[in-house]
């Protein structure tokens, strides 16, 4: 597609970076207009900064972890590969795990209500994520498997991150599948958040919805996914662990509600 958004001399502005930044901006704007009374703007922007840094570090670290065994060459050559291609190669779940861990630590330090604040922030996550997946589509990363379906897309730009053997081959536009799915999840969470709900239920709903979406879409992915276990990709295994955690959380919340009732 269009991996480079702007090219001036030796300077290149990656389309993926532009769309990711736009995603953060749109999601932040959405949340900023709906700040709960207990959350001031300074604290809110601190939360956004933590999310950004946690997502960046975690997503890159997990990408390195799952990609390292697949690379040939010496340790130094592998390190240089990641340095030279730093602007590409991020795993969403890695970013989410690190960002959530950092957020929990910060929220406890600031005595913010954990579940209400989590519900508030998670509502905008799929909105920003949708923009990021469009960025993946433009860059050619996270691409799909070959397909004969009429909506298959063909990457021809040699700078695209699609696997070299799939250049010129129609593949599933799985990035756009996920972008559309994320927008649907955002719409659902937006509706749920503005209706009476138990604290924590929006978070559970997000994990259930995105986990289902991601688990299914992994079967259509054609890029390097890391080592498989029991026929499942690392992302699918993480999805199952998160689903188990969300199920336990849902049980605790509904059990607490029944006891209070």
pLDDT in tens, 118-140: 999 999 999 999 999 999 899 88
Ranges in the chain, pLDDT < 50: 258-261
**Dihedral sign computed on CA atoms, order 94, 141, 182, 48:** positive
pLDDT score recorded for residue 64: 77
Count of domains forming the chain: 1
pLDDT score recorded for residue 141: 84
pLDDT score recorded for residue 180: 97
Bridge partners of residue 7, in order along the sequence: 12
Supply φ then ψ for residue 78, to 5 degrees: -65, -45
Helix (H) or strand (E) holding 206: helix 201-217
Angle between helices 15-32 and 125-139 (to 10 degrees): 170
Domain that residue 214 falls in = 4-260
pLDDT score recorded for residue 69: 66
pLDDT score recorded for residue 117: 94
Among candidate residues 221, 216, 214, 222, the one with its CA nearest the CA of residue 242: 214
């Amino acid at each position: 597609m269009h991996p480079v958004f702007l090219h001036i001399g030796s300077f290149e502005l990656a389309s993926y970076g532009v769309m990711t930044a736009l995603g953060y901006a749109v999601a932040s704007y959405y949340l900023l207009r709906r700040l709960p009374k207990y959350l001031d703007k300074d604290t809110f922007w601190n939360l956004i900064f933590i999310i950004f840094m946690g997502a960046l570090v975690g997503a890159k670290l997990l990408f390195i972890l799952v990609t390292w065994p697949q690379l040939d060459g010496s340790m130094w050559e592998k390190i240089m590969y990641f340095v030279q291609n730093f602007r590409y190669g991020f795993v969403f779940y890695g970013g989410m795990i690190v960002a959530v861990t950092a957020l929990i630590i910060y929220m406890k330090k600031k005595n913010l209500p954990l579940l209400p604040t989590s519900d508030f922030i998670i509502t905008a996550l799929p909105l920003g994520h949708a923009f990021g997946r469009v960025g993946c589509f433009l860059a050619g990363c996270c691409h799909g498997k070959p397909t004969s379906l009429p909506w298959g897309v063909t990457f021809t730009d040699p700078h695209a991150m699609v696997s070299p053997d799939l250049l010129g081959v129609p593949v599933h536009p799985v990035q756009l599948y996920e972008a559309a799915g994320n927008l649907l999840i955002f719409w659902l969470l937006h509706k749920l958040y503005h209706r009476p709900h138990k604290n924590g239920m929006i978070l559970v709903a997000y994990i259930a919805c995105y986990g289902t979406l991601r688990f299914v879409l992994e079967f259509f992915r054609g890029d390097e996914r890391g080592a498989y276990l029991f026929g499942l990709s690392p992302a699918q295994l993480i999805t199952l662990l998160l689903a188990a955690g969300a199920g336990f959380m849902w049980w605790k919340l509904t059990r607490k509600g029944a006891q209070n009732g």
